[in-house]
Amino acid sequence: MNIILLGPPGAGKGTQAKKLEDKYGLKQLSTGDMLRAEIAAGTDLGVQAKQIIDRGDLVSDDIIIGMISSRTEQDDCQNGVIFDGFPRTVAQAEALENMLSDKGQRIDAVIELKVDEEALVGRLENRIAEMKAAGQEVRSDDNAETLRHRLATFREQTAPIIPFFADKDMLRTVDGMQAIDAVEAAIDAVIDEAKTVS
């Protein structure tokens, strides 16, 4: 089973992906983590990617898809994967569908965690205040301004793939502002529905 989790930074994708990994034996794939691993391992893809990144350019969709293709063939991906932070564009979504189709697989569910952005900023500000009050160090990029920028970037980049999957009747929306357990239950319901279709 292959799942795409969509949602802005702070929506809880990482928390829910971990629960899905534990419950269904799926593997969470983050393209950023995969790129770093390829570069560290010195693979052909990693060498190519490092040259591109060192020039300050973005790694092409072809390289990313090639990396995902080889990663999904590893043993820990046999039950399926959770795509986190990918695809970000319609071109990437189409390339992902084609790559999976070539392997006799497909995307089984696209789950959007819908959140109130201002409430996310409020949560972050509360968390920072609590950390400061407890004498804990706060990361320099852990602030409302940075979060607002990341939320805007998410809207700009990822907005087009939401109608792309909705038009294919693949998109399911979950209220990400609920308690963690309620979000988990809603995601489980989407997965149960996807299983009956497959």
Catalytic residue among 13, 27, 71, 172: 13
Range of the domain at 90: 3-115+159-197
49 occurs within a structural domain: yes
Task: Answer yes or no: 127 catalytic.
Answer: yes
Looking at the DSSP bridge assignments, the partners of residue 29 are: 83
Q: What is the pLDDT of residues 123-133, one digit of tens each?
A: 888 888 999 99
Catalytic residue among 36, 50, 114, 150: 150
| CATH number, domain with residue 67 | 3.40.50.300
> Looking at the 3D structure of the chain, how many domains does it have?
1
HSE-CB at 16 with a 13 A cutoff on CA atoms is 32
Task: Answer yes or no: 36 catalytic.
Answer: no
Task: Answer yes or no: 71 catalytic.
Answer: no
Catalytic residue among 127, 132, 168, 195: 127
pLDDT value of position 31:
83
d(CA 51, CA 120): 36
147 occurs within a structural domain: no
Q: Of 124, 126, 119, 106, give the one whose Cα is nearest residue 4.
A: 106
pLDDT string in tens for the chain (198-residue length): 999 999 888 888 888 999 999 999 999 998 878 888 888 999 888 898 889 888 888 788 888 898 899 899 999 999 999 998 789 889 999 999 999 999 999 999 999 999 998 988 888 888 889 999 999 988 777 788 888 888 888 888 777 899 999 999 999 999 999 999 999 999 999 999 988 876
d(CA 194, CA 198): 6
Task: Answer yes or no: 88 catalytic.
Answer: yes
51 occurs within a structural domain: yes
Task: Answer yes or no: 13 catalytic.
Answer: yes
138 occurs within a structural domain: no
Enumerate residues 6+ apart whose C-beta is below 8 A from 8. Answer: 115, 117, 120, 150, 151, 154, 155
133 occurs within a structural domain: no
148 occurs within a structural domain: no
81 occurs within a structural domain: yes
Q: Of 67, 70, 84, 69, give the one whose Cα is nearest residue 27.
A: 84
